[in-house]
Chains A and B, each alone.
Chain A
């Protein structure tokens, strides 16, 4: 048998097995059932993701004035600079435009992010760098307000809470093209 014929035979065998996997999803025809039941209430401490419509935003609130103090106290300035205007890991408050700077333009919260909820989610999830998930929800709301107000995305003094945060209008909301709509 020539090498190409061997390859073809192996290919045929491989594609048969992958078809079996794709059609019968788990390839079993039965449920394994080793998962232990748990209640949503018991999952709550880990359930931190915020959806763009505000789903899962916690109770609490905060303002930019409080956030400005926290930004210094919690050490955010180490990476994001005084007042959040620049540092080793980038400015969180800045007015750089997106257009006219090419495909390597700096994507900022103001010029690029489509959803205000992402700000809350990411601060609570991953910041501060050396102690993520140690801020209280009020502190996260306050830091979120500080960043949004500094970027002139909310009027001065606006209280951020579960109701007001998802309503913040982000300038680049419609700036996106879904690359693979058929995969969703």
Chain B
């Protein structure tokens, strides 16, 4: 039993100072007591308080569009092609600077293969045809009248975390390594409600979905998924879709490979076979060590990583810290996340932020007392289907690693990495990327 005011007596639940997650659940009084005792024992006496300058004058005028503090100006995405050269553009989410579970709209990751199209919603049309009784076309006005649903879900690029296929750990921050996944609340029309009225031929098995972007990105999607939980998304975190996310309408396939969530959808053709279009037959067919390749790698499998602390941060003194991170599974709901501080020798259950949602980010936390000695932090998630995030040696055995170290953290040596991410902390409190 833990003594309320003595954090040093808290149960250590795993090696290297991991503390019981129950600390977080005991309620504010115990926490406040413990924390204040800790702070009081750690610092010199504080300065007397003064009225700060900014509290004494009228502030600036409110604007139609809200603005974040100028002190947060560096909370931005990393771009790979800021001049819009004739190639793909990527923007990566700064997870190391964010918290919670929702990615703000202007920081959601995006990938565009031929720029952002400037679409007039009054002229945009969505056509559904192929193996159907009656092909239809929908204006955005008409589509907006269908019943809508709202759900949270992550979208993850199949190439997210690709640098972790490197045979040596790439020294890059969380944003560079895992910035091609984000999580939002999406609102739109269940695709099934629209497909219902065209009369699908029972022999049809697939749909070809295509965008109105310059590259006319297209993917083949099994009808099984289309009729399960696919949504024609119109709103992102409450406002109309960002232009770079597919305005005015995108396909959302919860939990499935980002590239399949076709933006700017203008055509859905019901067919009996997949098209094996460019992206499905090339980029998103990951090579295996024996030169065979996976095809139709739809699901982003269970995964987690620690966001705080992470690469590039520094622990300035020994003592109490909260380890925090993100877990998600394209196959279901996060049921459990375990954390290690000793490179996998011992593991402890982290607190999982509820209510947990299917195919959505789940924040996990665990208190930690760093003793100033080297430590290796890592997390491992389990979903409600019993799928366990694979340990690195298990994953590498099946999927392999590169022959030479990866030098560009933004490159894509392979796809669909869902194994562990480990942060090595040295005695100075500096954090590097390590393999265990």
B115 to chain A, nearest CB (A): 10
Cβ–Cβ < 8 Å partners of A101 in chain B:
403
Residue from A38, A40, A126, A180 in contact with B297 in the complex, judged by beta carbons closer than 8 Å? A180
A66 to chain B, nearest CB (A): 23
Within 8 A of B (CB), among A11-32: 11, 14, 18, 21-22, 25-28, 31-32
A26 touches B402 (CB 8 A): no
CA distance A28 to B145 in the complex (A): 14
Q: Is B276 part of the binding interface, using a Cβ–Cβ cutoff of 8 Å?
A: yes
Cβ–Cβ < 8 Å partners of B267 in chain A:
43, 46-47
Given contacts A104-B165, A125-B216, contact A49 B208 (CB under 8 A): yes
A162 to chain B, nearest CB (A): 16
Residue from A6, A49, A100, A113 in contact with B275 in the complex, judged by beta carbons closer than 8 Å? A49
CA distance A100 to B413 in the complex (A): 15
Residue from B128, B205, B266, B355 in contact with A7 in the complex, judged by beta carbons closer than 8 Å? B355
Q: Is B320 part of the binding interface, using a Cβ–Cβ cutoff of 8 Å?
A: no
B136 touches A115 (CB 8 A): no
User: By the criterion of a CB under 8 Å from any partner CB, how many residues of chain B are at the interface?
Assistant: 79
Q: Is B137 part of the binding interface, using a Cβ–Cβ cutoff of 8 Å?
A: yes
A103 touches B288 (CB 8 A): yes
Within 8 A of A (CB), among B250-290: 266-267, 269, 271, 273-278, 281-282, 285-289
Q: Is B371 part of the binding interface, using a Cβ–Cβ cutoff of 8 Å?
A: no
A86 to chain B, nearest CB (A): 15
CA distance A21 to B295 in the complex (A): 29
Of the listed stretches A50-58, A136-144, A151-159, chain B binds: A50-58
CA distance A98 to B373 in the complex (A): 45
CA distance A61 to B286 in the complex (A): 33
B293 touches A112 (CB 8 A): yes
B208 to chain A, nearest CB (A): 5
Nearest CB to that of B166 among chain A residues? Answer: A104
CA distance A177 to B139 in the complex (A): 40
Residue from A31, A78, A177 in contact with B294 in the complex, judged by beta carbons closer than 8 Å? A177
Nearest CB to that of A53 among chain B residues? Answer: B273
User: By the criterion of a CB under 8 Å from any partner CB, how many residues of chain A are at the interface?
Assistant: 69
Q: Is B229 part of the binding interface, using a Cβ–Cβ cutoff of 8 Å?
A: yes
B106 to chain A, nearest CB (A): 27
Given contacts A35-B128, A39-B135, A103-B400, contact A51 B216 (CB under 8 A): no
CA distance A11 to B291 in the complex (A): 44
CA distance A180 to B135 in the complex (A): 30
Within 8 A of A (CB), among B386-436: 399-403, 413-414
Nearest CB to that of A30 among chain B residues? Answer: B196
Cβ–Cβ < 8 Å partners of B139 in chain A:
36
Q: Is B224 part of the binding interface, using a Cβ–Cβ cutoff of 8 Å?
A: yes
Residue from A37, A52, A102 in contact with B403 in the complex, judged by beta carbons closer than 8 Å? A102
A159 to chain B, nearest CB (A): 23
Residue from B114, B127, B137, B138 in contact with A126 in the complex, judged by beta carbons closer than 8 Å? B114
Residue from A26, A40, A100, A176 in contact with B196 in the complex, judged by beta carbons closer than 8 Å? A26
A147 to chain B, nearest CB (A): 13
Q: Is B34 part of the binding interface, using a Cβ–Cβ cutoff of 8 Å?
A: no
A178 touches B129 (CB 8 A): no
7 new A-B contacts, CB < 8 A, other than A7-B354, A132-B215, are A14-B357, A32-B196, A35-B138, A112-B285, A125-B216, A129-B114, A175-B292
Q: 19 A-B residue contacts at CB 8 Å?
A: A7-B354, A21-B190, A25-B190, A27-B190, A34-B142, A34-B146, A36-B136, A46-B267, A48-B216, A102-B402, A107-B282, A118-B278, A125-B218, A129-B114, A130-B86, A175-B291, A177-B292, A180-B297, A184-B224
9 A-B pairs with the lowest CB-CB distances in the bound complex, closest first: A35-B136, A7-B354, A26-B193, A104-B413, A25-B192, A176-B295, A10-B355, A102-B403, A99-B291
